[in-house]
Structure 1
Amino acid sequence: MTAAVLVMVAGLAQGAGVQRLRTPEGVRYHAWFPEERPAGLVVSVHGISRNAAEHVRRLAPAAAAAGYAVVAPLLPPGRFRGFQRLRAGAAEAVEDVVADAAARAGRPFPRFVLVGFSGGAQFAHRYAMLRPGRIESLLLGAAGWYTLPDPALPWPLGVAPGTAPAAVDLAGFLRLPVTVVVGADDTRRDVSLNADPAVDRLLGRNRLERARRWVAALRARRRAGGAPVRLRVLPGVGHDFAEAARAGLVDALAEALGVAPRRHVTRITAAASGGG
Structure 2
Amino acid sequence: MRDKDPATETFVTHRNLLFTVAYEMLGSAADAEDVLQETWLRWVGVDLAAVRDQRAYLVRITTRQALSRLRTLGRRKESYVGPWLPEPLLTAPDVAEDVELADSVSMAMLLVLETLAPTERAVFVLREVFDLEYAEIAEAVDKSPAAVRQIAHRARLHVAARRPRGVVSPAESRDALEAFRQAIETGDLQSLFDLLAPDVVLLGDGGGVVQAVPRPIRGADRVTRLLAVGLPRIDGTVSVEPAQINGYPALIVRINGEIDNVVAVRLDDGLITGLYIVRNPEKLSRVEQETTVSR
Higher radius of gyration, 1 or 2: 2
> What's the TM-score, normalizing by structure 1?
0.30
> What's the TM-score, normalizing by structure 2?
0.28
* Structure ranking higher in helix proportion: 2
